[in-house]
Structure 1
Amino acid sequence: MSGEDQLFQRYGRVFPAGSVLFREDEPGGEMFVIQSGVVRITRRSRGKEKLLATLGPGEFFGEMSIISSRPRTASAEVVTEARMLVIDAKTFDAMVRSNVEIAVRLIKKFAERLAEADAQIENLLLRDASSRVVHHFARLVATQGRQSPDGTHVQVNVATLPSLLGIEPDQVDDVLAKMGRARICLPADGGYVVPKPEQLHDFLDFLEKRERYAGLA
C-alpha cells in the first residue's frame, strides 16, 4: 500500500459534488487536502458571492481557522466528487512539529497566497472593467504561462471571471472579443494563447491612460 493510500485509509473521506464543506463565519476545526476532484472557495461581498479560488489535486485549504482559532473567512463547496484528507487541529499540529517538509510547504503556500491576494487587490483597484480583464491575463501569463511556438498559453475558466474580477459577464466577453480582433489574445487548446505578451502590457497601459485622461479632451 502506497503512502498516499495509507494516509487516505486513516484520514480520507469522499465528498460528492455539491457538498458544502464549511461556510463563512462558521467555527473551523479541520483542514482539507485534495487528492482528487475540484473545490471552489467563495466569499460574500456586498451581498454577492465572490469566487476566491478553484482548487484541485495537491492543494490544501481550511488551515487558517486551525492556526488562528478564528471562524472561517470563506465558504468551500465541492464542484466534482473529491477524495480528501480531513485533518483535525491536533493532528495538524503534530504533523507540522514532526515534519519539516510539511512546515516548509505551508510557508511557501502562504507566500503564494499573499502574492495572489496582493495581485487581486491591485486588480480590484482598477475602475475600468477592460483593465481588470487585461491585468488578469497579464498576471496569468507571468505566473502560469506555458511557452510554445505560437506564444504563451494560459488556462482560463472564462465563466469564473465575472465573479473573480467583480464585473459583468458581457463586459468580459466584450474585452475578450476586442483582444481577439487585435490578435492580442486568442482562444486555443481550452484556454488562450498570447502571441506577444508585451502587447498585453501595451494595451493595459493604453486603457489606464484613457481612464486617467477621460474628460480632459
Structure 2
Amino acid sequence: MPSRQDNRRSLSASDKLALLRRHPLFGAIAPELLERLSSYATTRAVHRGDSIFAKGDPGNSLYAVCAGTVKISVPSADGKDAVFNLVGEGEIFGEIALLDGRPRTADATAMTDCELMVIERRDFLDLVRSQPEIALKLMEVLCARLRHTSEQVEDVLFLDLPGRLAKILLQLTETAKLPQARRVAITQREIGQMIGMSRESTNKQLRDWEDRNWVR
C-alpha cells in the first residue's frame, strides 16, 4: 500500500469559503459560521493511489471531497480488499469515527488525484452543537450509508454473481451521467472487490457478455 503523505496546502480565506459554499453539507451554513469554519478547515491534496487513512487509525478528522474520487475499503487477512463505497465530489467520509471517537473502520485511498477539505473533530463537533442544520444533514448522510450497506448485504444474500455484476455496472453508469461526475478508471479487480467476486470471474463474465454484445 502506498505510504500516506501529508500534502496539506494553505489556501486563501476566499478560496476556502468558495469551496465550502459549493459543498452540499456546508453550503447552507450562515455566513458568519461559514467564515468561522473556513478559518480552521485545511485543504489536503493527495495523488492517485495515496492512502488517506487506514483502518485502526485515530478518527480525529472529517474529510469533504472537493475534487476527485476516494475508495473506502476493508482489507482481509489474505490481502483481498472489500470495497464498500466510492466517494466523489460533494460528499464526505470519515464521519463514523469522527462522531464516536473510535478508530477508523476502513481504509480510504485516493482513486484519482483529489482535493480534500479537512476539519478536525473538536472543531466540527462545536459546529454541530451550534448549527442544527448541519446535524440534520449529517443524519441524512449516515442514513444513506446505512441504506447502501443494507442493500449490499441483500445483494450478497439474494443475487448471484452475474446479477451483482450487472447491478454494479448499471450503478457506475448512472453515476457517470451526473453533472459533477468526473471520469474514474475502475479496474476489473476493483469491480470484483465491490461485489465479492474475483478478478478472474469478473473478467470471464464480462467477456461472455461482450461476446453477446451486451457490453462493450
> Fold conserved (TM > 0.5)?
yes
Structure-1-length-normalised TM-score: 0.68
User: 1:137: Cα distance to partner?
Assistant: 4.5
User: 1:40: Cα distance to partner?
Assistant: 1.6
Residues 1:89 and 2:113 aligned together:
no
- Listed one character per residue, the Cα deviations across residues 52-85 of structure 1 (whole Å, up to 9, x for unaligned) are 2222211111111121121111011223332222
Residues 1:168 and 2:198 aligned together:
yes
Calculate percent identity across the aligned residue pairs.
Answer: 24
Q: Indicate the structure (1 or 2) with the bigger Cα radius of gyration.
A: 1
- Listed one character per residue, the Cα deviations across residues 125-163 of structure 1 (whole Å, up to 9, x for unaligned) are 25742232134346x29x8596xxxxxxxx994532111
> SS of 2:146's equivalent?
helix
What root-mean-square deviation, in Å, do the aligned CA atoms of Structure 1 and Structure 2 show?
Answer: 3.1
Which residue identity is paired with 1:69?
A: G
Picking from 56, 59, 64, the partner of 1:33 is: 64
Residues in 2 aligned to 1:178 and 1:109: alpha-carbon distance in whole angstroms: 37
Residues in 1 aligned to 2:186 and 2:50: alpha-carbon distance in whole angstroms: 21
Structure 1 unaligned runs (5+)? 147-154, 188-217
Which residue identity is paired with 1:91?
A: D
Match of 2:45 in 1: 15
- The answer on whether the counterparts of 1:39 and 1:54 sit within 8 Å (CA) in structure 2 is yes
Q: Which has the higher contact order (CA 8 A, sep 6+)?
A: 2
Match of 1:52 in 2: 84
- The answer on whether the counterparts of 1:123 and 1:136 sit within 8 Å (CA) in structure 2 is no
- Listed one character per residue, the Cα deviations across residues 169-199 of structure 1 (whole Å, up to 9, x for unaligned) are 232233334445556x434xxxxxxxxxxxx
User: Relative to structure 1, is the Cα distance of residues 9 and 84 closer, same or farther in structure 2, using a 3 angstrom cutoff?
Assistant: farther
Which residue identity is paired with 1:76?
A: A
- The answer on whether the counterparts of 2:55 and 2:106 sit within 8 Å (CA) in structure 1 is yes
Picking from 89, 98, 102, the partner of 2:134 is: 102
Which residue identity is paired with 1:51?
A: V
Structure 2 unaligned runs (5+)? 1-13, 20-34, 178-183
User: Relative to structure 1, is the Cα distance of residues 102 and 176 closer, same or farther in structure 2, using a 3 angstrom cutoff?
Assistant: same
Which residue identity is paired with 1:22?
A: F
Residues in 1 aligned to 2:68 and 2:169: alpha-carbon distance in whole angstroms: 25
- The answer on whether the counterparts of 1:130 and 1:171 sit within 8 Å (CA) in structure 2 is no
Corresponding residue pairs, total: 178
